[in-house]
Amino acid sequence: MNLPSAFLTRMQEMLGEEYEAFLQSYESGHYQSLRLNPRKTDREEFTEKSPFHLTPVAWEKNGFYYSEEDTPGKHPYHEAGVYYIQEASAMAPVGYLDVQPGDYVLDLCAAPGGESTQIGAAMQGKGILICNEIHPARAKILSENVERMGLTNAVVTNESPERLSTYFPEYFDKILVDAPCSGEGMFRKEPAALAQHCEALVKQCAELDADILDSAAAALAPGGELLYSTCTFAPEEDEGQVAAFLQRHPEFMLADVLGKPMIYWVYKAARACPKLDDVLIATDDERIADACKTYDMRYIMTSPDHDTPTGRIWEVSTKVEADLYLQIMGDEPLINVKAFDLILPDTLPEDPYYVAVLTNRMEHPADVIDFSNQKVVTNAAREILMISRSPIPYPKGTLDFEYEKVTGIQLYSRRALAFYHETPKSILEKAEENDMMRFVENGHKVHAIVSPYKTVSVDTPKDLALVSEILKGKE
């Protein structure tokens, strides 16, 4: 496949050593899938009567892969609305939106209707679903699919997002923006997406989607949820778009956990540790500060200029006097307070530059070669010799080695933090993206303490769902 050169350059920069695996993915087979319509059938009935070779889609209870020899688009079941032919990946956004019967929902960029009909199935005929499409020809196709799938509580509109939001100000409980995008994730399936791709298109889509999101924000009811999705890899359209939106709309926050901000659960765990004299949330975000006020959590405002968590903790040390400062990441709500007992000493260490980190032993080979995990090598005294995203040591012919990774729980003396602030970042630290290297490279000891208590960094919707389920059980 002749992929655009600018696209390949960007993906190589983004993926690093995973780039070759990414390229190889274009040589693999294409999965095809369909989604059952629960208004006209159920899983048991369909799997009994279906003439197709079906395999379940993991993230959608009504989703199935079918084999290359199957032709569900030509079967009468398709015309009868028994199922909708839809990419398995396209089934994921609606699941994360968690639509419930009785909700008021807007699908703002709805054609041809895959997500709209999936939302309609979840609503069970209760509530209101507005399916909007700005292009008249595509709106007609959308209307046909909504009708074919038997949705009785859906209305198809053909309006601009801006104009629609003026008619429905602060109205919807849930809004889906499956945005028009540069379609980089569609290269293998859609030759047209490959033919039209250019960096100018990426910029154009990013600008368009920013306007669409602003309109969606105006139509969302207080306390509602807005879900944004694309089928592209371009940061300008993805994480960059989300970051820019949050800057324009400080009233919005990323998804919470069981109705409370994620930081609430981290703060709650830390407060349960008797060894800690005080717990403070360090932030430069007024939205987090507001959450702290709402839930009576102590906080301190810091500069927005810090590029590492350690830099932020240093600033805290200049404002709050203490012998030792324990750093806990705000995206790890499953922290076990027993882990704090392992890293917090009973007496003040003699080393004025004392630094310690908790590590977890990795049990699966896939974790070892995962470059998001920062591996450590220690000497006999459990002092860190090297930090690397690569598996070091790398035993020849095997991964039969006990690897450890750094966790988000780290301990610093006040003088160690001052040293960190005063010492420039080295080339090696920049390469490994780990601020512990600053101490190791300059001759200061970093103590690695193995912890059996594992946590989950919430980086994806899957992580969020897992954490929510675990905390729900504890509550």
**Any idea which residues carry the catalytic annotation?**
231
Instruction: Show the tokens assigned to 267.
Output: 């703060």
Buried b (16+ CB within 10 A) or exposed e, 416-433: bbbbbbeeeeeeebeebe
- Crossing angle of helices 199-219/239-248, nearest 10°? 40
CA distance 439 to 423: 9
Instruction: Show the tokens assigned to 53.
Output: 């070779």
Query: Cβ contacts of residue 292 below 8 Å, gap of 6+?
Result: 263, 281, 283, 298, 299
CA distance 446 to 108: 52
Residues linked to residue 132 through DSSP beta bridges, in sequence order = 157
Confirm if 362 and 403 have CB atoms less than 8 A apart.
yes
Query: Phi then psi for 187, rounded to 5 degrees?
Result: -55, -40
Start-to-end CA span in the chain (Å): 51
Per DSSP bridges, beta strands 32-36 and 83-85 are antiparallel
> Using the 8-state DSSP alphabet, how is residue 171 labeled?
-
| Beta strands across the sheet bearing 83-85 | 54-56, 63-66, 32-36, 83-85
Please report the sign of the dihedral spanned by the C-alpha atoms of residue 283, residue 289, residue 294, residue 296. positive
Confirm if 218 and 170 have CB atoms less than 8 A apart.
yes
CA distance 180 to 207: 11
Confirm if 175 and 227 have CB atoms less than 8 A apart.
yes
Confirm if 361 and 404 have CB atoms less than 8 A apart.
yes
> Using the 8-state DSSP alphabet, how is residue 17 labeled?
G
Query: Phi then psi for 65, rounded to 5 degrees?
Result: -80, 145
Confirm if 168 and 106 have CB atoms less than 8 A apart.
yes
One-letter amino acid for residue 346 of the chain:
D
Confirm if 289 and 301 have CB atoms less than 8 A apart.
yes
How long, in residues, is the chain? 475
